[in-house]
Amino acid sequence: MPGSHRRTLLTVATAAATSVLLALTQLGGAPYAFAATLFTDDFSDGNTSGWSKSGGTWSLVADDGQALQQAKGDTDNARLFAGTTSWTDYTVQARVKPLTLPANGAVALLARASGATTYLRLALLPGNQVRLEAVRSGTATVLGSASRSVATGTWYTLRIEIAGSAVRGYVDGTLVTSGTSPIAGTGRIGVQTLYATARYDDVAVTSGGTTPTTPPTTPPTATPTPTITPTPPPTTGPPPSGQSSVVAKDGSGNFTSVQAAVNAVPTGNSSRYTITIKPGTYRELVSIPAGKPYISFVGSTGNATDVVITYDNASGTPAPGGGTYGTSGSASVTIDGNDFTARNLTFSNSFDESAYNYSAEQAVAVLTRADRLVFDNVRFLGNQDTLYPNSANASTIGRSYYRNCYVEGDVDFIFGRGTAVFDRCEIKALSRGSSSNNGYVTAPSTMISNTYGFLFVQCTLTTDSAAAQSVHLGRPWHPSGDVNAIGQVVFRDSVLGAHIKNSPWTDMSGFSWRDARFFEYRNSGPGATVTADRPQLTDAQAPNYTAPRYLAGPDGWNPIY
C-alpha cells in the first residue's frame, strides 16, 4: 500500500482485541465486517522475513520503492506463503505486475492455503483473462472467470474476499468474478507464478469476509473529468522507509510532545519518517508543514483509544494577536505535508460548547490541505466541523483515504472541498437535544471542475441519542458565496440509522441542495428510505463513483485495501 511501510503479523485473537470496531451486519444479503489488520508487507525493509518459499527465484528489486520479484520463467509453480493456517474469513490484497506471461503462464494471488498445493487462487492469464480457482492437491477447479485487459509491465491490484464458502475476486477495485469454495475454510495467503515472471508489492490481509460490491458495469461514455490541477506526484514514487522516533509523555521516548517530533523531521525529507506515539493524551497543537512530506503517526498499541492528540480552540476563541482563530485556525491538527499517514490513534477537538458563549463554535479536530493522505483505524472527535478535508487552494485537488475510521460530530462535521473516501467507517451523529434537527453529516464545497468530493462506501451511520428523523446527510457549502463550489457527495452500499431524515439533503445560505451533486446508491437500514428527495445513482453510473475512481488522479494513486 503506497504510504504504508510496515510488516505486521497478528493472531486473529489479538487483532480482534485491538480493533476499535468490529461490527457484523447485512448489506444486500452479503455480510461484512469492519476489519482488523492481520498482516501487511510492502518490502521496504529490504527482506522477506515472514514468508516461506516454494520454488522459483525470489528477490527484492527497485520498482517505485522495493518490490518482490519472481524471475525464473521456466518454473511451473513458484510460490511464497505468509500468515497462519488458522486464518478463516479475511480479505487479501496485493499489487501485481506480470513481467512475462506466455501462453501457458499465470500470475496469481493466493488465499486459504492449507498446504503448498491446496489454496484459492485469483490469476491473471494471457488472452486478457482473469480466473478464480480452487486448487486442491495441485488440481485446479475453476470457480469463475472473466475477460479483463491483462498486459505485461502493468501494475494491477488483485483482491480476494472470502467468508465461509463464498469467494469474490477483484481487479483494481472492481468485482470481476465470484464462486463457492470447495476447499477447507482456513489457511494462509500467498503469491504465485506459473511459467511466468512477476513483481508483487503492498500485500495486506484484513479480517472479515466478503463485502457487497456493485457488479462490473460498462461505464457511461459521458463521464466528466476534473480539469483542476492535482498535486504533482512524486517523481520517484513512494519512498523507502527512513528514520523514526518515539513520543512518550513519561520520557521513555525521544520526545515528550508530538510537535517536537515533527519539528525534528528534516525539511524536504524524501523518505518515510515514522513517529510512534505511546499511550497518553497529548494536549497540544500539531502542524505538519508542506515541506515535510512522508510523515507517519502510529499509535504504539494498535488501539486507537490509547493515543489522543487534542486541543480546544474554537472559531470564536480569542487569538493571542487579536481577533479570533476562525474555523481553519481552530484545528487541533493541521496537515500540509503530502503523503502523510496516521494509524491507530485519535484526533480530537475538545472545545466545550456549554462552557462558552461564542457566536462561532466551529471547532476542527483535523484540517488537511495536502494530497495522498491515509488514515487507518483513526478516530476523529468533535462537535461542529470535526473533520475538514480541504486542499492547498481552489485549483488543487487534495485526496485522502479513511479506512476503518470513526468520525463523530453534529453540525457539518465532515466538510470542505477535498476529495475524500470513507471506506468501512462509522459516522456517528451526536445529539443537540432537538427532536427535529440535530445537524448535518456533510457540508461539501467541491469545486465544480472537480468530479469527486466525498464518497462513503460500506459505512454505518449511527447515533446514541439523536432522535429519529433528525439528522441530514448534508447541505451545500459555498464559502464566501462562491458559485463555483458545487458540493459532491455519494453515500453508497452503507447502513443508515433511523436518525437520518427521509428528506436528508437541505439548503444552505440561500443555495439549493438540488443544484449540488448529491447521490445515494444501494443503501440499507431504517434511514435509507428512497423518496423523491433522495437522488439515486443508476446502475450504469455507479461504476464511476467508486473508491479507486475518486482517488486515482493522474498518478494512479491506489491506497485501498
Cβ contacts of residue 446 below 8 Å, gap of 6+? 417, 419, 452, 453, 454, 485, 486, 487, 488, 517
Q: Hey, which bits of 164-220 come out as E strands?
A: 166-171, 174-180, 188-194, 197-207
Q: Is 201 an active-site residue?
A: no
Q: Do 313 and 358 form a contact (C-beta atoms < 8 A)? A: no
Q: How far apart are the first and last CA of the chain?
A: 7
Of the candidates 89, 412, 423, 493, the residue annotated as catalytic is 412
Based on the number of CB atoms within 10 Å of its own CB, is 279 exposed (0-12), middle (13-18) or buried (19 or more)?
Answer: middle
Q: Using CA atoms, how far apart are residues 28 and 211, in angstroms rounded to an integer?
A: 10
- The 8 Å CB, 24+ separation contacts for 361-364 are 361/314, 361/315, 361/316, 362/314, 362/315, 362/327, 362/330, 363/312, 363/313, 363/314, 363/315, 363/330, 364/327, 364/328, 364/330, 364/331, 364/332, 364/388
> Does the annotation mark 385 as catalytic?
yes
Is residue 214 within 8 Å of residue 81, measured between CB atoms?
no
The conformational region for residue 169 under phi > 0 = left, psi -120 to 50 = alpha, else beta, is beta
d(CA 197, CA 193): 6
Q: Coil, strand or helix: which one is 354? A: helix
Q: For 194, list phi and psi in degrees, rounded to 5.
A: -130, 110
Strands 280-283 and 307-311: parallel
Residue written as grid cell 485469483: 122
Catalytic residue among 89, 202, 385, 423: 385
* Residue positions annotated with a catalytic role: 385, 412
